[in-house]
Amino acid sequence: MRVLVTGGAGCLGANIVERLLARGDDVLTLDNYATSARDALPDASGQLEVVEGSVVDRALVRRVFDGFGPEVVIHSAASYKDPDDWSGDLETNAQGTLNVVEAAREAGAGRLVNFQTALCYGRPDETPIPVEAPVRPFTSYGVSKTAGEHIVLASGLNAVSLRLANVTGPRLSIGPIPAFYTRLKAGKDCFCSDTVRDFLDMEDFFALLDKAMSPDAAQGVFNVSTGRGHSILDVYRAVASALGMDVADAPVVPPGADDVAAVVLDPSRTEAAFDWRAQVSFEESIARMVAWYDEHGVRAIYSHLRAPGKSGT
Ligand SMILES: NC(=O)c1ccc[n+]([C@@H]2O[C@H](COP(=O)([O-])OP(=O)(O)OC[C@H]3O[C@@H](n4cnc5c(N)ncnc54)[C@H](O)[C@@H]3O)[C@@H](O)[C@H]2O)c1
């Protein structure tokens, strides 16, 4: 299969690319390395083409799509690192998505998989959040990603938009898990915002993605999650336990003004539509994450929120 991955050097992107290459697909990545690095990807080969550039560059996107002729597009590129950069986020997440959608259509791609943030729900009325819940984003990232998702859905392409829980796995450099790992190892104090999030192991994410890439699979929007929430204090305890550290609980502080108290997605419609269900436990996911950091270290930590050390993607 010929698969074009935007944002292919990112946390999810690089893991996806690695997996696609291993199963024999031809892959092209398009990334400007805004929140990643070229060395996350293997050297270009007959099987892998690596293009440095932005999805905002419409002419480049057209050229790359036309030249490669993807059967499937995985749109993983996203901008979020400066919460005050509304223009930059809109350029990449809305205009960039439009460029990708138009180029995918021109190139005759048979399926587009888009990734959406759970922050699209804003401050939800209930948790777990059903996929039919109102979409009320209020951050630059959430608003611009939601514009992008609407563009995908309105495009007429054979497309699915996956609203993701916090995916844990190799290369994760955002959120409370790498933050606690780094601070605990350095003997530094930690604090936990009084919030609840859901975490999904990369293995479970891949199992769903394999199905979602098929042109015959369901179209539309789907929550991808275990459906189970864990407090940030739970994360702290699980990281400490996986590190073999016997530490007192970190202080729990009220969420910041731009934070959301609980984000837990209800995956029931996804489970029915894709005959899929998350299998890996929370504790096992965190233990895998800690083992990966022990071997590879933690890279720069970016946040989608204003204050450092907060949770949520
Ligand atoms: N990882 C998660 O748990 C999670 C949760 C919810 C949604 N998502 C979504 O999944 C996708 C991937 O997220 P991630 O966690 O891998 O983040 P990431 O920052 O690691 O990856 C995003 C990639 O996009 C690239 N990029 C940014 N602007 C670009 C541009 N203009 N042109 C080309 N490339 C550009 C970055 O350099 C990076 O490699 C994003 O769409 C994100 O919104 C991820």
Render pLDDT for 187-222 as a digit per residue (tens, 0 to 9): 999 999 999 999 999 999 999 999 999 999 999 999
Any ligand 1 atom below 6 A from CB of 51: no
Closest atom of ligand 1 to 200 CA is: 3
Q: How far is the CA of 10 from the centre of ligand 1 (A)?
A: 6
For 91-131, how does the pLDDT look when each residue is reduced to its tens digit (9 = 90+)? 999 999 999 999 999 999 999 999 999 999 999 999 999 99
> How do residues 13-27 score in pLDDT, each as one tens digit?
999 999 999 999 999
The stretch 222-238 carries a mean pLDDT of 98
Q: What is the pTM of this model?
A: 0.95
Whether ligand 1 lies within 6 angstroms of the CB of 76 is answered as: yes
Give the span between the Cα atoms of 264 and 262, in whole angstroms: 6
pLDDT in tens, 282-307: 999 999 999 999 999 997 655 454 44
CA 153 to ligand 1 centroid distance, Å: 19
Residues near 35 by beta carbon (within 8 Å), at least 6 away in sequence: 10, 80, 81, 302
Residue with the smallest CA separation from ligand 1 atom 18 is 10
Structural contact between residues 165 and 177, judged by C-beta atoms closer than 8 angstroms? no
CA-nearest of 76, 57, 65 to 7 is 76
Nearest to 223 by CA among 135, 100, 98, 111: 135
pLDDT > 70? residue 175: yes
Domain ranges of the chain: 2-167+199-224
Architecture, CATH, for domain 2-167+199-224: 3-Layer(aba) Sandwich (3.40)
Q: 35, 81, 99, 226: which to mutate for ligand 1, most atoms within 8 A of CB?
A: 35
Please compute the mean of the pLDDT values over residues 137-162 and round it to a whole number. 97
161 close to 116: Cβ distance less than 8 angstroms: yes
